[in-house]
Chain A
């Protein structure tokens, strides 16, 4: 099924919104291919008007000898504007940039959105979590600029720019407005990093002034961490620079059940890549044990981004039902099913609901 669509390349003609939309699919490594095919099957069953263009983003040596993402992938992405990405392996300490980071920088995906909502059928110690973390995705502590200043002294540079901070603040308020959220909290450490987080805060305040219908609060990072584990319901939308966002979004994911059930989207000005944030799990790759929930919920986010809300709702409801009622859950959700059985369960529910 994937091969049918694989080689069709349009010539940069934008598709009208009622037509079939093309989406770049990056299956990824490890369990990536399994869960991607699961998602594709579910989309077929839901009759979502999506055509997939699967690509491989393993870096290849470019003309200058540096490792780059293959140019074909970049072309496709610029045409399609929307992508769905499975888990990619990131080597630690190898010197070249992580692939995740490279994808984000290439397409200037400046906002990382991670809605963390408690799943009905997957009970954790924390109930009623409904937090969205919006994190600046391109700069901050992850700018990748590091040097050894002198022997034994390392310097990492955290870059905060006005433009990026304004963009992310704007995106956060727009998101809050479009999703009907009541409160945006800026998370910072401006008591310590006075200039950099101070700039970030200033931009947030400026944007907040433009959205009087949404409440704006500021909170220190340590206060948020402290309160989040005691009462997660007091936070709604959180906006923050890169590093804090990384940690806090993983914290929130942990509250609802881990990275295996959390969707994530990287949004740019005109492009978006939705991804599953868990690892590649090489130990269970190929054994049909993987849980496609994360990638599936990310694809639901993608459908909402593309304004295909009906399909999104259908698939999401089927997924939630399958988790709460079904007995085909995969092992990590506490069930005994396999990836295939879980997928089929969801497909059955989608067909039943029609």
Chain B
């Protein structure tokens, strides 16, 4: 038995006491609170449907003992494998991970967080580990509202200064190359650095105050990593490095030997200039050889007779990796026979449950703005409820009531998403934008939930600001913002305001996240009817959204190259559309992007 002293410094330094069972060699970890739970280890019952049923989680501070046993089960009805441990439950979708049918997906293990109190503290570290795995194995970890916590990996691994040993490895994406993950035993944090140790002896010598999680050769982390890496390495050997799409890591026996050709993605052109911009993207993809195939589906409220139904759209998107590239769809004022009908955009968002809209506001070189500071902030907007609930009725003739609904689960969801997003992308501050001084219950709830969520992310600063003041600050000093989270309507306002700050609707990208679907679209959703068919719209927003989509589909190199091409074109300033001060057309811009594209 080896005992490690308790750490009292920070609550996220979890595991300090560990005992080793002499018979099985399992290590048992005692929680920070010192309470020892059921010594047999698995002190909960796993329910296969648990993950699907529960959509919210509320951490309770029940001290638990973590064991490092891992069991595996398989649900034949759903064809899903489950790995259980006290710390992390991993569910592997069979259709995405274990079948050899040539279908390319982007999902490997689904990292699910359950109602475990410690997970909130260990989560950032664990997912940093996952990000290491991700980089090294080429697998992607599912992005759900919980899993958008994969943090950005640090540049290489760090040397521990005072302790004297280091682990060096590259995360260049080549599995197993210099990354001794097989022997990964511990994840820790020292100061601002993360470190990972592979040597058990050295590990024992490490200053235990900095240790966060300890695994063994048989610990859950290890099993996970071995599993993932085994599959991935088999695959990598089969495929060449020029493979443009990464095939999935299969679990064991049958590694894929052939390279699938193209990833399929749904496009929803929308109204106005949408079709032109989508055409532009297709043009660029063909001209640059990016291996994406588009399946177009027509969704429109204005052209209601020819439009597909929402169900068909959902089906199309789920068929194609759950990813879509979308233009702006205009809401029609004509078919208002049924006054309670939601607009088509809201229907789509609700049914796909795209609860988070992320707009990244980044100033681009080559676009003149009024304020000279470089901007780089993110707006996270709740998209399914709030003022856009479309619950209206006429009380008496001449008096109309419109309901704004705020629910706690949705607030919790978006707040967590925002903080996870901040963690993933290395952001330092999250600002909650609200109007709780007037709407005390509705926005008061939102603010309170954000505050509560902030407590679980001690490394991220939390701030709140009233929407009026936010607008004023945005026009005067926008550089102060980092990540902003807000309900629906304020998100709409701030999105567009901020887009205007960096160059307008033609340069800003947006992503709508749901649990199972992601839609990439220009950030400020204007269909720009006046320019329809004239070929003068700025396609940069749509192209950059397509670049985001490529990164999401794990064609990272292509995505980066495309983004760089667009930035080069704009920086050079020779080809500019009208909103940027020139007179070039959409097609000329696309041609310039193709010519600048190098991978």
Contacts and interface: CB of A to CB of B under 8 A. Distances in A.
Contacts of B441: 146-148, 154, 156
Interface string A153-169: 11111111111000000
Interface stretch (B101-109, B284-292, B399-407): B399-407
B406 A162 contact: no
Given A251-B472, A251-B475, A153 B407 contact: yes
B235 interface: no
Interface in B382-439: 387-388, 390, 392-394, 397-409, 435-439
B308 to A, nearest CB: 20
Nearest to B446: A154
Interface stretch (A46-54, A221-229, A344-352): A221-229
Interface in B490-543: 490, 492-493, 495-497, 499-501, 504-505, 524-526
B217 interface: no
A125 to B, nearest CB: 4
Given A125-B370, A195-B393, A229 B501 contact: yes
A228 B437 contact: no
Nearest to B399: A161
B405 A155 contact: yes
Interface stretch (B62-70, B244-252, B331-339): B331-339
A101 B445 CA distance: 21
B444 interface: yes
Interface stretch (A24-32, A89-97, A281-289, A309-317): A89-97
A223 B528 CA distance: 10
Nearest to A92: B437
Contact of B526 (A153, A226, A253): A226
Contacts of A144: 438
A226 B503 CA distance: 10
B436 A93 contact: yes
Interface stretch (B172-180, B262-270, B454-462, B463-471): B463-471
Given A196-B392, A250-B469, A251-B471, A225 B497 contact: yes
B436 A226 contact: no
B401 A226 contact: no
A221 B493 contact: yes
A86 to B, nearest CB: 18
Given A152-B409, A196-B392, A158 B500 contact: no
B346 interface: yes
B476 interface: yes
Contacts, number: 183
B442 interface: yes
Nearest to B388: A192
Interface string A216-244: 00000111011111100000000000010
B319 interface: no
Contacts of A229: 370, 474-475, 497, 500-501
Contacts of A98: 437-438
Interface in A93-150: 93, 95, 98, 101, 124-126, 141-142, 144, 146-149
Contacts of B500: 225-230
Q: How large is the interface on B (under 10, 10 to 19, 20 to 34, 35 or more residues)?
A: 35 or more
B154 interface: no
A98 B405 CA distance: 22
A95 B504 CA distance: 40
A246 interface: yes
Among A93, A149, A222, A248, residue most surrounded by chain B Cβ atoms (within 10 Å): A222
Among B399, B408, B437, B524, residue most surrounded by chain A Cβ atoms (within 10 Å): B399
Contacts of A158: 387, 401-404
B303 interface: no
B578 interface: no
A146 B398 contact: no
Contacts of A225: 493, 496-497, 500
A258 B403 contact: no
A191 interface: yes
Contact of B440 (A146, A159, A227, A246): A146
Contacts of A251: 471-472, 475, 497
B277 to A, nearest CB: 17
Contacts of A45: none
A212 to B, nearest CB: 24
B493 A222 contact: yes
Q: How large is the interface on A (under 10, 10 to 19, 20 to 34, 35 or more residues)?
A: 35 or more
A92 B435 CA distance: 10
A145 B427 CA distance: 37
B400 A246 contact: no
Nearest to B508: A226
A39 interface: no
A162 B4 CA distance: 72
A90 B400 CA distance: 28
A254 B472 contact: yes
A93 B405 CA distance: 18
A73 interface: no
Contacts of B409: 152
A133 to B, nearest CB: 12
A325 B444 CA distance: 45
A82 interface: no
A254 B471 contact: yes
Contacts of A255: 475
Given A141-B439, A253-B472, A254-B475, A157 B493 contact: no
B571 interface: no
A191 B472 contact: no
Contacts of A162: 397-399
Given A194-B336, A195-B339, A226-B526, A156 B390 contact: no
A154 B436 CA distance: 13
A88 B393 CA distance: 35
B515 to A, nearest CB: 20
A333 interface: no
Contacts of A141: 387, 404, 438-439
Contacts of B397: 162
A156 B398 contact: no
A307 B167 CA distance: 80
A124 B442 contact: no
Nearest to A203: B398
Contacts of A208: none
Contact of B402 (A147, A152, A193, A223): A193
Among B371, B388, B439, residue most surrounded by chain A Cβ atoms (within 10 Å): B439
A153 B408 contact: yes
B505 A226 contact: yes
B222 to A, nearest CB: 40
B403 A196 contact: no
Contact of B331 (A156, A160, A191, A258): A191
Given A124-B476, A153-B407, A222-B495, A92 B402 contact: no
A159 B399 contact: yes
A194 B339 contact: yes
Contacts of B343: 191-192, 194
Nearest to B437: A92
Contact of A221 (B400, B403, B492): B492
B489 interface: yes
Given A159-B401, A243-B435, A254-B474, 17 more contacts: A92-B436, A92-B437, A146-B442, A147-B441, A155-B405, A156-B406, A158-B401, A159-B400, A161-B400, A190-B333, A191-B333, A194-B341, A195-B393, A226-B505, A226-B526, A229-B474, A254-B475
29 contacts: A141-B387, A151-B408, A154-B405, A154-B445, A156-B441, A157-B404, A158-B387, A158-B402, A158-B403, A159-B399, A159-B400, A160-B400, A160-B402, A189-B489, A192-B387, A193-B390, A194-B341, A194-B392, A196-B400, A199-B398, A221-B493, A222-B525, A225-B496, A226-B526, A247-B471, A247-B490, A250-B472, A253-B472, A255-B475
Q: 4 closest pairs, A vs B, by CB?
A: A152-B408, A254-B472, A229-B500, A162-B398
Interface of A: 90, 92-93, 95, 98, 101, 124-126, 141-142, 144, 146-149, 151-163, 189-196, 198-199, 221-223, 225-230, 243, 246-248, 250-251, 253-255, 258-259
